[in-house]
Amino acid sequence: MYIKPIKSALISVYHKENLDVITDLLKKFDVHIYSTGGTQQFLESQGAKVTSIESLTGYPSILGGRVKTLHPKVFGGILARLSNPEDIQQTAQYEIPAFDLVIVDLYPFEKTVATGASETDIIEKIDIGGISLIRAAAKNFQEVAIIASQNQYQLLIEMLENNNGATSIEDRKLLATHAFATSSDYDAHIFNYFNKTAQLPQLRASFKQSKTLRYGENPHQKGIFFGNLYDMFEQLNGKELSYNNLVDVEAAVALVEEFEETAYVIIKHTNACGVAIAETPLEAYQKALACDNISAFGGVIATNKPVDLATALELNKLFFEVLIAPSFDAEALGTLNSKKNRIILQQLQPLKNTAQYKTLLNGVLWQEKDNVIENETQFQKVTEKIPTQNEEKALAFALKICKHTKSNTIILAKEDVLIASGVGQTSRVDALEQAIEKANHFGFSLKGAVMASDAFFPFPDCVEIAHKAGITAVVQPGGSVKDVDSIEYCNKNNVAMVFTGVRHFKH
């Protein structure tokens, strides 16, 4: 194992927090420090002796600080291979000092973009010297240890303390890996900023944070969540979220956010088994549970309103995996936390993702998220019978659920409650018959109910089956070459039907 003492270090950082601990260690091990600008001033304020980069290169910081470290005497000292006689001869000839440690913390480009700053300010936060130092030091990890972010200070501290001011080749290679992760993430954010305008058909995705899950979809599969989940949720109780929990949480939140009214949504395997809106949270929950109290067992529940004690007492009677809400009354939370494994999430912000990705074959599919939903004002009335006001509300309600249900799907509903759904069937008729059978099983009358379909009806069989079951109004995208056949059946049998012109497949 090649243990190399650190004799000289180059430090150039944007953030100075916690750098004092590093400074004390470098002083302890008598490390010769090179630096410039604000970093040099900070190090000297901590009692460190510092050689300025300007005195090494013979050039001042120029162009408003854009050029400080970009010089052969800097990069030669980082990239020199001590096992290469020619490199050693040239560094001696040109009086280039060798660097054993480089510490960099880049300009905060991503954070500057997030503040909505001007393009001028954003461009100035594209680090040039720092990113070059990182890549050079990481490339020459055989000789140089690289710290590419203040997030790695603690790692360096442990390495120096454990090795008495030295680093091993294993240490340096690990640090190089971290460094290239930092540089690639930085470049990805810069590309994505510019590509908002250019719209090049290229994909760059980078997540600095991750959480290893207990397992993936099944226990024999590994699983990791990439991203900062706790920017969106505060977990108030329960075990760690699983892969399947997270998939269902996404489905529950996406659906409940469709409603402005007080709503409760119950999800099982990404599909809704209970949805209702009502005047009070308690009534909304009770109506949602009544949709299918069997499938609700072990499900994921979401609401768009605070959870009060009355609703919590009812929720507490059901075994469920996860409950998501914007807030919880203190007494309600005490009741819900009585089950130690029950996951309680307070939602801190709405879903913001505007795109969806899926690995497929030897690549990745990208698409815009389906953020479209039609309401009563957009319905195209195509039958002689016009939907009543209550039927229109029911159709709009059903359509929201339909959009979030696996295709082929049929939703049967009234204006404030899901009655039954046919989910993920290979034919639309099968989906409808599944929904009717389920409604009958749970004792729901379909008389006066409405039907929503995620895609058009290629034949009139679905409207015929629905009518005979008691359905009085239908919403579908339209667009079949045989639309007229479905319209004619509805006209002959006093069924109202509206088209939206928008398909909502979900695979």
Mean pLDDT for the chain? 93
pLDDT digits (tens, 9 = 90+) for 249-278: 999 999 999 999 999 999 999 999 999 999
Q: Which of 189, 211, 269, 385 is catalytic?
A: 269
Residue 62 predicted with pLDDT over 90: no
Q: What is the pLDDT of residue 1?
A: 57
**Average pLDDT of span 215-240:** 94
Q: Is 269 a catalytic residue?
A: yes
Residue 340: other Cβ atoms inside 10 A: 8
pTM of the model: 0.86
How far apart are the C-alpha atoms of 291 and 268, rounded to whole Å? 13
pLDDT tens-digit profile of 426-468?
999 999 999 999 999 999 999 999 999 999 999 999 999 999 9
- 189 classed as catalytic: no
Amino acid at 389: Q
Rounded to an integer, what distance in angstroms lies between the CA atom of residue 229 and that of residue 236? 14
Instruction: Note the pLDDT of residue 502.
Output: 95
Burial of residue 345 (number of CB atoms within 10 Å: 0-12, 13-18, 19+): buried
Residue 29, SS3 per DSSP? coil
Q: C-alpha angle 7/142/53, rounded to 5°?
A: 45
Q: Quick one: pLDDT band at residue 208, thresholds 50, 70, 90?
A: confident
Flag whether pLDDT at 248 surpasses 70: yes
Nearest-5° Cα angle at 361, 357 to 363: 50
Report DSSP letters for 146-187, one per residue: EE-SGGGHHHHHHHHHHTTSEEEHHHHHHHHHHHHHHHHHHH
Catalytic residue among 139, 189, 208, 339: 139
The separation between the first and the last C-alpha atoms of the chain, rounded to the nearest angstrom, is 52
Q: What is the pLDDT of residue 311?
A: 98
